[in-house]
Chain A
Amino acid sequence: MKGPSLLRTVRLGVSSLLLHKLRSLLTMLGVLFGVFAVIAMLAIGEGGRVEAIERIRGLGTQNVLARSVKPREDFATGQQAVRVINYGLTEEDLARIEQTFPCVQRVVPVREIYEEVRCGERAMNPRVVATLPNYLDVTGRKIAEGRFLADEDERRVANVCVLDYDVARHLFPFASPLGKEVKIGGDYYTVVGTVLTRLRQKDDPAPAGQGTAEVFIPLETGRKWYGSMQVKLRAGSREMEEVELHELIVEVAELDNVMFVADAVREMLERNHPQTDFEVRVPLEMMREVEAQGRLWSFVLGAIAVISLVVGGIGITNVMLATVTERTREIGIRRALGAKRKHIVTQFLVETVTLCIGGGLVGVAAGLLSPWILELVLEKRAIVTPGSSFLAFGISVVIGIFAGMYPAWSAARMDPVEALRHE
């Protein structure tokens, strides 16, 4: 064994710190809050990122979404009370995309029907989606009860529907909706299943205030009963819209080809739609953006928190300098009895680092509880990653060493004779 063992030095340091309990506690608080802030900030960043990614994943990372968009009305005069606007994606586009790209696995068409859904006295305005059975696989939605639409329904042009969980709960608060009937516009549909509700997206196609509630019916059934002409009521006027397909979900076989397919689809549609009555969205691209943004946010939040930790470190330096002055006599005694400079440095460094580790550990514990606190106060999702805890703790130890270095060195530098004479 060389020199005083670290264990004994640590025990000595702790007993010195315990001589000034309040002072040590207050010093530790600086580190504690710093570590807590680092962990909490990174948890907020991580929570936001994961939430955004989950939302986007709900759109399908391997999908390219082409949506019909009403073109600008610069040519419309607004004098007519009733007008017909014809725009959007067509069956032709669907067939063209399917035939052109070998790396496209499936293309699922979506039609939206603006009708009220009723069951007895209860009514709501969900997004009524007429689509193919493939929709479930392509979007990765989960069945809650019963089944989704089937090929059989399509062939028979059956009056069946699938409700999402929100609609089911609203229309059938007390019983399972399976086998019951709902009225969509003027027709009755038998409920064959329910699916889990989609997470809300920022640029959600569903009108605001209606949530993300959805009802699914077979594509053919929708076409048969509602045609492609739909009436939208607007303030003071009625608007007739003729849209063949509202959305095409293009599923790409390989993740690597997603961006390429998106560009190609956009180009192809531009050629056939001079009016630009569509938009192409790529969830994967959105996800990458969100990830890059998330990293930036985590960095900014983390940096702010690290600054607070540094401030805590400066507090420690301050307190340790005062401690060193106060203990000048003790330093002189130890030096006279044979302590080398490095022993004095070690003694004070150990005290500082012990403070930091103590504060750091409590800070990590508080940080681990931070998601619970943040969700309660901010109603924000926060996720603590093990990495952030280690990072915060590591930084606190490093700061402890840096904060203690100058006071420890100034203690070791003292002239033993002068130090012994100090009152």
Chain B
Amino acid sequence: MSSVSPGTRPPVAELERVTRTYRMGTNEVHALDELSFSFGRGEYWAVMGSSGSGKSTLLNLLGCLDRPSSGSYRIDGVDVSTLDDDQLSELRSQRLGFVFQSYNLIAQLNVLENILVPLFYQDEPPLEAEERARGLAERVGLGNRLEHRPPELSGGQQQRVAIARALVNQPALILADEATGNLDSHTALEILALFDELHAEGKTILMVTHEPDVAARAQHVLRLKDGRVETVVRDQNPAPAAAAASSR
């Protein structure tokens, strides 16, 4: 898969001269400044940059949690800038998967229910929703903890639930925000291995991180500075699938 030359893959997410401006008092801050970029289907990107480089803003935009001040953003061919709040929500529930640094599971729901949350908000949830969620729990190694609530799980386990939750709606794009930031290095490696597997299965993943060794696991690296693209490194690992296998 990685032998296909860059740019030929159909883009999942396409940014065109996207600017996002925040007003801080009287100053205007350009968190993203005319950024144009596209993320191809099946690619595994690491987004790096110092704080204030615009990576969080980029993540919010890609996740349809925010809209650009100017420019256009298309996800899966849908132009986001014209959508209203409800349509953005719908897009999130159907095409996006989120993995957060602090897991962000809902405390009063058990593992199975947490995995099901994105489907809960779909207008027509799939009939086999629960089987799918059980399958994913099994897949991330928590098949025997379906009835547990998040506070009863370790950090690594919680993040696994979050990953299962991000997969349950079969998203076009998985967005991970410092997904290993709260984990010890051993657990972090396990989670990264899980991402490698997902990549090997052809999922499109975008991981925001500031840790070089996490970024090193990705297929491509995008480095931002002051809201613009600083550097792009493509195909830093010739065989990501092999890397995933060796890290087991």
Contacts and interface: CB of A to CB of B under 8 A. Distances in A.
Contacts of A8: 120
A337 B85 contact: no
A337 B108 contact: no
Contact of B106 (A2, A333, A341, A416): A333
A335 B89 contact: yes
A16 B108 contact: yes
A304 B65 CA distance: 48
A19 interface: yes
A2 B121 CA distance: 9
Interface in A295-352: 329-330, 332-343
Contacts of A332: 104
B122 A338 contact: yes
A204 B85 CA distance: 75
B65 A337 contact: no
Contact of B123 (A2, A334, A416): A2
Contacts of A343: 89, 121
Contact of A417 (B60, B107, B117, B165): B60
B51 to A, nearest CB: 14
The 8 closest A-B pairs by CB, nearest first: A338-B93, A338-B121, A340-B89, A338-B92, A337-B118, A333-B104, A339-B121, A416-B65
B80 to A, nearest CB: 14
B180 to A, nearest CB: 18
Interface in A389-423: 416-417, 420
A330 B100 CA distance: 13
A336 B85 contact: no
24 contacts: A1-B124, A3-B121, A3-B122, A19-B107, A329-B104, A333-B105, A335-B89, A335-B92, A336-B92, A336-B104, A337-B92, A337-B93, A337-B118, A337-B165, A338-B90, A338-B118, A338-B122, A338-B169, A339-B121, A340-B121, A341-B85, A341-B86, A342-B86, A343-B121
A340 B90 contact: yes
B63 interface: yes
Q: Most chain-B Cβ atoms within 10 A of its Cβ — which of A341, A343, A420?
A: A420
A16 B109 CA distance: 9
A4 B105 CA distance: 19
A88 B237 CA distance: 122
Interface SS of A by simple majority: helix
Contacts of B159: none
A3 B118 CA distance: 11
Interface of A: 1-4, 8, 12, 15-16, 19, 329-330, 332-343, 416-417, 420
A285 B122 CA distance: 66
Given A338-B94, A339-B93, 19 more contacts: A3-B122, A3-B123, A4-B121, A8-B120, A12-B108, A12-B109, A333-B117, A334-B117, A334-B121, A336-B65, A338-B90, A338-B93, A338-B118, A338-B121, A340-B89, A340-B90, A342-B86, A343-B89, A417-B60
A34 to B, nearest CB: 28
B166 to A, nearest CB: 9
B89 A339 contact: yes
Nearest to A340: B89
B212 to A, nearest CB: 25
Task: Specify which of A8, A333, A339, A341 lies most central, judged by the most chain B CB atoms within 10 Å of its CB.
Answer: A333
B66 interface: yes
A19 B122 contact: no
Contacts of B105: 333
A3 B86 CA distance: 13
A19 B106 CA distance: 12
Contacts of B100: 420
Interface in B48-91: 60, 63, 65-66, 85-86, 89-90
B98 interface: yes
Contacts of A336: 63, 65, 92, 98, 104
Nearest to B87: A340
A339 B96 CA distance: 13
A15 B108 contact: yes
Nearest to B127: A1
Given A330-B106, A417-B60, A337 B86 contact: no
Nearest to B113: A12
Interface string B166-186: 000100000000000000000
B172 to A, nearest CB: 13
Contacts of B125: 1
Contact of A337 (B66, B107, B117, B124): B117
Nearest to A335: B89
A417 B66 contact: yes
B152 to A, nearest CB: 15
Nearest to A342: B86
Given A3-B121, A337-B98, A420 B85 contact: no
Contacts of A16: 108
A120 B55 CA distance: 110
A376 B4 CA distance: 89
A10 to B, nearest CB: 13
Contact of A19 (B93, B108, B165): B108
Contacts of A339: 89, 93, 121
Given A337-B92, A339-B121, A340-B121, A417 B98 contact: no
